[in-house]
Chain A
Amino acid sequence: MTPLAGCLLVSALLFSVGLAGALTRRSAILVLAGIELMLNAANLNFIAFWRFGPHPESLTGLMFVIFSIAVAAAEAAVGLALILAIYRHARTSDVSEITEMRG
């Protein structure tokens, strides 16, 4: 197995773990953590293709990862603020109990 395939398999595994967490956990915070894991798996793919691709000197994959990390930071800040606001309103962060946005 080539290093590229190894990276892609690790990334697929990490993506599946994140997806499983996002789909199965009760806590809204861990759902967000699962989404972060999926984003990180995609970043690992970008780095792997940049490293083992034909034109690493064009820096495309690396730049995509840097911008993706910045977007993920913004997403995490807004997501956790939303969870806090919902918790104050509904007194729970259990996604199976939060069934309405008004009320």
Chain B
Amino acid sequence: MNLAIFLLALFDGVAYAALVFIVALGLTLIFGVMRILNVAHGSLYAIGAYASVSLTGYALSLGFAPVLAFPLMIVSAVLVGILIGAPLEKFLLRRIYDKSEVLQLLMTFAVFMILEDVQRLVWGTRPYFDSSALQVLGNVTVFGVTYTAYQMILLPLIAVALLLGMRFFLRHTVTGKLITATTEDREAAQSIGVDADKVFLFTFVIGAILAGLGGALASPTTSILPGMGADMIVLSFAVVATAGLGQIEGAALTALMIGLGRSFAVYLYPEISVLVPYLIMVLVLLVRPEGLFGTPGARKI
């Protein structure tokens, strides 16, 4: 393997990892704060993608410039967070925080199934594709291989910005500190006047927005079709479990490992590329059952 091929595999891996990380970030944030594994995260990802494609398609049909696709992605993500995430937490999850993990898992899984059918009702079974956002940014050529600037530059930048932003938010802002305090000890935080309900709602909406944003950012690169949410939830769960549940930096590192592992596999031995994320997960969990960055005893599932 020469240097050029090594670099090519690196670029592919980073672009893939960026997308996986954005979705896994929301999942691990919700788990870290609320101790709940939200299977419906996959649906929020898919709905973010569908919403983004529909809004962009509508805007283009009205004659707006394709560059409008970028703000519309954020709009889609926020809509997913507020219209689906908020009611989900407020009316459903809030009732089951003190129930057993199995029940919580079944509950979010049920929501996932319901939302899968909702997507089919609203958008049908036909695949959608709208790559206007990606075409706006054009291509970059490296070693004779053409990449889209969107995947090679924009996605990794957004992933890094989200990682740094999330760290800053949790450690250096008042709201972030309230979230961290509630995570550490909910009762103690409440006794000194923190509104834990509000903190949970806020965290869940942020997590849902991240899922929707992942979907919206994925939408220009892939066919939007039923079932895409299931694939993503499995993959991001692998990332989150390998990293250690609730570990944000760990999720970034694991997403990168999985992305690179997968792309190098395609170059060296394509037959195992599908297996790579799970091989990495198995190897890590064999050595460190609590995940790369997890602390023993904090595990719930």
Whether chains A and B associate is no
